[in-house]
Structure 1
Amino acid sequence: MAPMIFTSTLLEKMARGTGTASFRFSRPQEYSFQAGQFFLITIPSPDGPLTHQFSHSDSPTEGHIELTTRLTGSPFKNALDALPAGVEVEVEGPFGVFLFKYAEPRIAFLTGGIGITPIRSMLRYLADTGGTGRIEGQELVLFYGSMTEDGIVYREELDEYVGKIQGLRVIPVIANPTETWTGHGGFITADILSAELSDPLSYTYYIVGPPPMVAAMQKIMEALAVPAGQIMIEGFAGYVT
């Protein structure tokens, strides 16, 4: 749909781990979007209105708008965290073409930290709709980089989606794992992709996260000689603000 501007109300705030939270806002019936898109939100603050863009972490099948973010201590994030339930904000959207490709036989998501938000939107939508429209036998592999095990946002939901979405695997990669961690440690690398994917060149890659993470994943794509047409990128340019 074409972007629209509307007034929304903060419904609730939910902790998503250390320093990370989700904020749910009311959603008018006439507003629709596709999983993977983003919106602009303008909030009140003591210094005047502040605007920021966020990916929808909610699915089109849910009845609210949700943004999930790290509380970085920036003026915007501090103002957002201080908003009381019931406050009115302005939302403009949807925007973006970072959309799920139903006809691609193999998809690998490469994300880290809060970059999971548009991927969560896609996976929730697939789970809620039973994957209607997906090509038969489609493989989905989510590589999720996190500094710690506790830093995996939506961890319980992701585990749940593995049982609900046919062909989905979730592979966390932990930079600072505990002694009991049995998965991959360090950062997402070409070696990890080669070990987990039968033929890395046969996948379409969705790369999303803060600029340094996106740059690192692009270098991996170059090392593996993945064609540019098989790479989708969504960079969180305003990550620290």
Structure 2
Amino acid sequence: FDYWTQPVGWALGVLLSGGTVAAVLALTGRIGARRQVQGTIESITDYPALRVLETTVELDAGWPGHAAGQFAFVTSDQTEGAHPYTIASAWNPADRRLTFITKALGDHTSRLRERLKTGMRVTVEGPYGRFDFEDAQPHQIWVGAGIGITPFIARLKHRAAHPNTRTIDLFHTTADYDQAAIDRLTADAAAAGVRLHVLVDDRDGRLNGERIRAAVPQWRSASLWFCGPAGFGQALRADFRANGLPPERFHQELFQMR
């Protein structure tokens, strides 16, 4: 009993109380409640060759806005709970729509094609994340591998609405191919003034640091922004660092939940 009357006991008591409050909030589903907004699925576009769904949600009032590259937790089925998805659209408060692009990579995402319906109500919580494309470099190199293209699509739309003088090369490398999806990506890149490089693995071979440097002679004055498989990102980081790119100029999206 004397232990709890000493300063260390008081400190421990405060920590235990804080932990108890946090546990209650988690168990009652109140963590993130202030960031939650209801919405309605407006449209669903299926790209079967890519095993990808593009879902547009019209939000009710209350969404605070988001930056390109951020993600949100979406609940479409209360029994399954919330799942995180990268936002693939720039924020426009005039229409309050968000677009999510999801790939069938696990049990949950593989079932979305059958479960999601237009008109369905969903809960969106967020935004979260700091993959924000903000730095002082005059040139940026973006690498979106597979479904990792999603945050770059959002940034393309943002840049089309808010143009600037920075030059950008976007590399999209993919094992799967869908002409309609590539046509849309090409149109988005053109509207944003971004130079697009599409590489299909079976047709063009694998992307690596040497190929990027050959395509972008000014890479030494650039920053590199990567989203895709973690191992690929680590290999690119090591390659560019070995060739003299300062490590702080390589930005890798660490969001890997799905």
Q: TM-score, normalised by structure 2?
A: 0.77
Residue 151 of structure 1 and its aligned partner are, at CA, apart by 4.7
Secondary structure of 1:188's aligned partner: coil
Instruction: Give per-residue Cα distances to partners, 1:145-166, cap 9 Å, x unaligned.
Output: 1114x25784223322343233
Larger Rg: 2
1:91 aligns with 2:134: no
Q: 1:70 to 1:120 in 2, by over 3 A?
A: same
- Percent identity reads 19
Corresponding residue of 2:83: 52
Which residues in structure 2 correspond to 1:75-90 (within 5 Å)? 75-79=108-112, 81-90=114-123
Whole-Å separation in 2 of the counterparts to 1:208 and 1:128: 22
Whole-Å separation in 1 of the counterparts to 2:184 and 2:138: 24
Secondary structure of 2:232's aligned partner: helix
Residue 117 of structure 1 and its aligned partner are, at CA, apart by 0.7
Q: 1:233 to 1:161 in 2, by over 3 A?
A: same
1:212 aligns with 2:240: no
Which of the residues 18, 36, 47 maps onto 1:5?
A: 36
Q: Which runs of at least 4 in structure 1 moved beyond 6 Å after TM superposition?
A: none
Whole-Å separation in 1 of the counterparts to 2:141 and 2:180: 18
Asked whether the 8 Å contact 2:37–2:62 carries over to 1, the reply is no
Q: 1:218 to 1:152 in 2, by over 3 A?
A: farther
Asked whether the 8 Å contact 1:109–1:205 carries over to 2, the reply is yes
Secondary structure of 2:156's aligned partner: helix
Secondary structure of 2:206's aligned partner: coil
Residue 17 of structure 1 and its aligned partner are, at CA, apart by 4.6
Relative to total residues, which structure has the larger strand share, 1 or 2? 1
Relative to total residues, which structure has the larger helix share, 1 or 2? 2
Whole-Å separation in 2 of the counterparts to 1:108 and 1:121: 15
Residue 143 of structure 1 and its aligned partner are, at CA, apart by 1.0
Residue 92 of structure 1 and its aligned partner are, at CA, apart by 0.7
Asked whether the 8 Å contact 1:50–1:76 carries over to 2, the reply is no
Secondary structure of 1:35's aligned partner: coil
Whole-Å separation in 2 of the counterparts to 1:42 and 1:162: 31
Whole-Å separation in 2 of the counterparts to 1:101 and 1:173: 26
Aligned letter for 1:24? T
Which residues in structure 2 correspond to 1:1-241 (within 5 Å)? 4-18=35-49, 19-31=51-63, 32-44=65-77, 48-61=79-92, 63-79=96-112, 81-101=114-134, 103-129=136-162, 131=163, 134=164, 136=165, 138-148=166-176, 150-151=177-178, 154-166=181-193, 168-177=194-203, 185-238=204-257, 241=258
Whole-Å separation in 1 of the counterparts to 2:167 and 2:210: 19
Aligned letter for 1:142? L
Residue 236 of structure 1 and its aligned partner are, at CA, apart by 4.1
Q: TM-score, normalised by structure 1?
A: 0.82
Whole-Å separation in 2 of the counterparts to 1:152 and 1:108: 23
Asked whether the 8 Å contact 1:116–1:153 carries over to 2, the reply is no
Whole-Å separation in 2 of the counterparts to 1:223 and 1:152: 36
Asked whether the 8 Å contact 2:71–2:126 carries over to 1, the reply is yes
Residue 217 of structure 1 and its aligned partner are, at CA, apart by 2.3
Residue 77 of structure 1 and its aligned partner are, at CA, apart by 3.7
Corresponding residue of 1:182: none
The count of residues paired between Structure 1 and Structure 2 equals 222
Corresponding residue of 1:180: none
Taking only aligned residues, the RMSD between alpha carbons, in angstroms, comes to: 2.4
